[in-house]
Structure 1
């Protein structure tokens, strides 16, 4: 006698309505805007530290060390699986990411920020997406469209206009080299981050161990416990805020918590609602925001040509970035 088996009905999965998807998209975009705004403000706050007794090397060491400690607390409290030490190829990738994509990137960024205008320092660093696209084209043999070359040409022309090189190229050579080095390290951050993702590491795990490596490296070069500046001293906020002051330790706490951990955190959450391609696209507006900040806070002059150059650089970067294929859903987030 045959036994009649119960009919299994297909599991009904919840379907997101268009209105719900639209709301989530707006929420995700809002998070990225908040993160980009915090990164922009951090460029101004970091300059306060740089001009009040903290050197580029010291600030880099303090920033990566403080951020690692904060990430360690986050991992212990909310994602203990991230505490697992990577092995084999994963470990090698994380070490490379920590040295080049975190430590050297931050050092080059602060050196450029100390010697150049805020807008030029970030404009140079944000040539990184073009370097990533060129790497994809010629090294990874990824198919890209003609938009890569149009974007590259537009970004280079925009950079020339933003710096007004025909006025005598009076910018600091070491600062420009540091900015270019920052772009190379930033590109390494993206590429190594992709490799870490492909190797099976989560974003939190990548950032935690990447900052751990950077913390060891930077403290070998400049131990945080040997910083000679008086962290309890009250320092001027510089520029248009010169009449205001704050304890130096509070300025450094901003750089670590609101200038690094918070913007990274909100952009990481944003990846749950919008794709990484959109996250990075919105973040590319940071150079323009930084130019506006430099004008408002530090009275850095911005001619109409320079403003158009800033817009052209961002447009060129975005155009070049679209020449790449789809990125992974957990690509790393910008850390300027």
Structure 2
């Protein structure tokens, strides 16, 4: 008998398509937070008020969800890693959002988000200078590339024409975003993603509430209106979008994407967030980046991706290294 062979078609993992859909959904949801927050801030709320509303609203929705689905993991996280959870809530949740929302109130949304993407470069510096971790050369190349990209975005050769406080806030958001990698390393293998997100939101809302003093928040502003792309919308609708879509939906779809695709793959797709944020800001706010700034943005993203990927593969001897994760999951 003569055996006949049939062409073998490449097999696409079943999780690839739904995982890709979840990752793109997360990128879109997170990408709309900056433009929506900027419209809310322009309507009369402060960046601090806007962040507190986002955290408090998300905590009200996420904590019951986490208790129902990941109750034991959430209780274990609170019992065993209370200090890390507080740090995560203050820096990786509240800190990054306060700095980012303050930055978008003074800078174009695209530039504010690109500044945040310096986080992988900051992680490289922390690993080398503090943890004494040996990393591949690609990690340093990626960090340098990201810094050069930011220099192109702000056009340092012509002097800094952007708002200085906005730039500092953007760099602050990068530092707080870098704390996510550091704290995730400490919780590697022990912290459930949904439980960590819910717990961090709750901690951030409680602690930030002491500063924001929500009892003095101009609640009447929520009943006002904001202009978005020439259309007048209720401020309450935009706040609801930030809470439900840009936070709860973004976190849950981002977590699902990581589980189906793995963190490195989901992290690469997450860079679409920058494109979405810049596009939405252009359509609804009229913000446009120059061709040179767009080129700088591409350089930043390439550097961030290279640094993230290389940082997850330290040179022997092995040392615990924070692996890459979904960036928009912490904005």
Class of the TM-score when normalised by the shorter of the 2 chains: 0.7 to 0.9
SS in 1 for 2:152: helix
Aligned residue pairs total 315
1:335 aligns with 2:327: no
2:181 & 2:323 partners in 1: Cα distance?
A: 13
Give the deviation of 1:78 after TM superposition: 2.7
- The answer to whether the 8 A contact 2:224-2:235 is kept is yes
1:267 to 254, 258, 273: 254
2:52 & 2:293 partners in 1: Cα distance?
A: 33
1:94 & 1:297 partners in 2: Cα distance?
A: 36
What is the match of residue 325 of structure 1?
Answer: 312
1:179 aligns with 2:189: no
2:130 to 122, 129, 139: 139
SS in 2 for 1:197: coil
Matches within 5 A, 1:227-306: 227-238=217-228, 241-242=229-230, 244-306=231-293
Give the deviation of 1:184 after TM superposition: 0.4
What CA deviation, in whole Å up to 9, does each residue of 1:122-176 have, x standing for no partner?
0111100111122223323333111122212222222122222334321111111
Give the deviation of 1:188 after TM superposition: 0.4
What is the match of residue 72 of structure 2?
Answer: 81
2:18 & 2:109 partners in 1: Cα distance?
A: 29
What CA deviation, in whole Å up to 9, does each residue of 1:215-246 have, x standing for no partner?
111111113343114255341333xx12x122
Q: Name whichever of 224-233 and 326-335 sits farther off.
A: 326-335
What is the match of residue 11 of structure 2?
Answer: 19
Give the deviation of 1:87 after TM superposition: 5.3
Give the deviation of 1:305 after TM superposition: 1.4
2:58 & 2:108 partners in 1: Cα distance?
A: 25
> What is the Cα-based RMSD across aligned positions, in Å?
2.3
Structure 2: unaligned runs, 5 residues or longer: 1-8, 314-320
User: How high is the TM-score relative to the length of structure 1?
Assistant: 0.86
The structure having more radius of gyration, on CA atoms, is: 1
SS in 2 for 1:74: helix
Give the deviation of 1:83 after TM superposition: 4.2
What is the match of residue 51 of structure 1?
Answer: 42
Give the deviation of 1:328 after TM superposition: 7.5
Structure 1: unaligned runs, 5 residues or longer: 1-16
What CA deviation, in whole Å up to 9, does each residue of 1:184-237 have, x standing for no partner?
000002211231234x22112212222221111111111334311425534133
User: How high is the TM-score relative to the length of structure 2?
Assistant: 0.88
1:121 to 112, 118, 121: 112
